[in-house]
């Protein structure tokens, strides 16, 4: 009899322990299923644990009814997640301006980020949002969005070369010589067009890279005084390629003067007609001497000069050679 009572007591204890274990398990499982949400009503926030699956279920479970001027955000069919915000507020009517487009919108959001999410507007990293009043979203307020687009492009530009003139006492006054040819450089600009609402508003230079350095032009300028020119001042000295012609080419010059020794043909763009000259040989051939630029010729272009000789044999003997031409005052 005592053995039976002892056995019954043990069974009762085991049963009680089992009930406690099952209750603890159920309570723990239920705790896992519960989610905390932040309920925000007119700016006031409260954390509520709920077993609801959707925002609509949450409103029902909390016995919350919305007036005709109120709305909930996010929408009622939104699934409940742990830590989410559920906002109940009265609608605000705002003026939304996107570029040149303007429309009225009823919204609940208090912040710009929430407003963009509520209206389903995606912003690019360069877009600019402004509000009136500043930094607030209020009833009858204005929210403006400027769509900003930045597009980069490259622009190649020449770099002009510098010129340096060096005096040379071994060259005659008026004589110049290029000893180093100038070469233009090259640089690449990284540019950026900025468009606001598809309109170009500015162009920026983001970076400049020199890809080719310019080469300086170096010119030697003569300082040596010219001797044997009867004290006449030399305006400039030009090394020219010379040829020769004779009376068979005609008896009159382009200036209407008589063709003769000392009357030479030039390119008027290089040496003006009527200029007084002194023509010096550079290779030992007898120097032509004083002359006047009075004639022209179809083949006499640039640094070319044609010297008149009185006979065809003299002209042929001269042939073609370089001479130094002094242009006199």
Q: Is the pLDDT of residue 26 over 60?
A: no
Residues 215 and 137 in one domain: no
> Domain containing 190 — which CATH number?
2.20.230.10
My answer on whether 210 and 234 are in the same domain is no
Q: What is the pLDDT of residue 5?
A: 60
User: What digits encode the pLDDT tens for the residues 89-124?
Assistant: 888 899 999 988 999 999 888 889 989 998 999 999
3 state DSSP class of 60:
helix
Give the number of domains in the chain: 4
CB contact at 8 A, 241 and 303: yes
Whether residues 237 and 303 share a domain: the answer is yes
Region of 181 on the Ramachandran plot (φ > 0 left; ψ -120 to 50 alpha; else beta): beta
CATH of the domain at 120: 3.10.20.30
Q: Is the same domain home to 181 and 133? A: no
Q: In terms of domains, do 286 and 324 share one?
A: yes
312 and 231 in a common domain: yes
Residue 127 resides in a domain: yes
Q: Which of 146, 172, 188 is the last residue of a domain?
A: 146
More confident residue, 225 or 61: 61
15 within some domain: no
Asked if residues 128 and 158 have their Cβ atoms less than 8 Å apart, the reply is no
Among 280, 305, 276, which Cα is nearest to 291's? 276
Q: Are residues 254 and 161 in the same domain?
A: no
A 10 A CB-CB count for 283 gives 7
> Tens of pLDDT along 44-73?
899 999 999 999 999 999 999 998 888 888
Q: What is the CATH classification number for the domain harbouring 302?
A: 2.40.40.10
pTM value is 0.49
Q: 177, 192, 219 — which closes off a domain? A: 219
Domain-located, residue 30: no
Residue 88 CA to residue 149 CA, distance in Å, equals 36
The helix/strand count (H/E) of the chain reads as 4, 20
The pairing of strands 289-295 and 263-266 is parallel
Task: Tell me: do 232 and 305 sit in the same domain.
Answer: yes
Q: Residue 251 sits in which domain range?
A: 227-328
Average pLDDT, the chain: 89
In a domain, 43, yes or no: yes
Give pLDDT, residue 4.
Answer: 57
Q: What is the mean pLDDT of residues 137-146?
A: 93
Is 4 part of any domain?
no
Q: What is the pLDDT of residues 241-299, one digit of tens each?
A: 999 999 999 999 999 999 999 999 999 999 999 999 999 999 999 999 999 999 999 99
Within 8 A by CB and 6+ apart from 117, the residues are 109
- Residues 231, 321, single domain; the answer is yes
Residue 250 maps to a domain:
yes
> Does residue 244 fall inside a structural domain?
yes
The answer to whether residues 141 and 168 belong to one domain is no
Asked whether residue 41 is assigned to any structural domain, the reply reads yes
Supply the pLDDT for residue 6: 64
**Percent of the chain at pLDDT above 90?**
70
Residue among 103, 192, 201 at smallest CA distance from 147: 201
Query: Of the residues 199, 219, 239, which one is the last residue of a structural domain?
Result: 219
Which letter, b or e, does each residue of 220-234 get, where b requires 16 or more Cβ atoms within 10 Å of its Cβ? bebeeebeebeeeeb
Give yes or no: residues 80 and 167 share one domain.
no
């Amino acid at each position: 009899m005592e053995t039976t009572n002892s056995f019954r007591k043990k069974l009762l204890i085991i049963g009680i322990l089992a009930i406690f274990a099952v209750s603890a398990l159920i309570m723990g499982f239920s705790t896992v299923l519960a989610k905390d949400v932040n309920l925000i009503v007119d700016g006031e926030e409260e954390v509520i644990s709920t077993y609801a699956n959707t925002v609509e279920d949450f409103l029902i479970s909390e016995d919350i009814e919305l007036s005709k001027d109120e709305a909930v955000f996010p929408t009622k069919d939104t699934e409940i997640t742990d830590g989410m915000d559920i906002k109940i507020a009265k609608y605000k009517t705002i003026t939304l301006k996107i570029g040149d487009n303007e429309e009225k919108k009823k919204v609940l959001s208090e912040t710009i980020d929430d407003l963009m999410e509520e209206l389903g507007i995606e912003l690019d990293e360069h877009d600019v949002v402004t509000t009136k009043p500043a930094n607030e979203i209020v009833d009858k307020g204005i929210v403006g969005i400027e769509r900003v687009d930045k597009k980069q492009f490259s622009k190649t530009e020449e770099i002009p070369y510098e010129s340096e003139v060096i005096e040379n006492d071994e060259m005659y006054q008026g004589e110049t010589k290029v000893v180093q040819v100038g070469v233009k450089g090259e640089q690449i600009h990284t540019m950026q067009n900025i468009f606001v609402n598809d309109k170009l508003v500015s162009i920026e230079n983001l970076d400049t890279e020199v890809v080719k350095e310019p080469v300086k032009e170096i010119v030697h300028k003569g300082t040596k005084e010219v001797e044997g020119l009867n004290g006449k001042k030399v305006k400039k000295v030009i090394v020219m390629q010379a040829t020769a012609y004779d009376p068979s080419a005609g008896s009159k010059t382009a200036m209407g003067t008589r063709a003769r020794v000392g009357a030479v043909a030039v390119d008027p763009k290089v040496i003006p007609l009527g200029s007084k000259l002194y023509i010096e040989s550079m290779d030992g051939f007898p120097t032509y001497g004083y002359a006047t630029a009075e004639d022209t010729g179809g083949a006499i272009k640039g640094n070319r000069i044609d010297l008149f000789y009185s006979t065809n044999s003299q002209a042929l003997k001269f042939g073609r050679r370089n001479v130094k031409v002094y242009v006199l005052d």
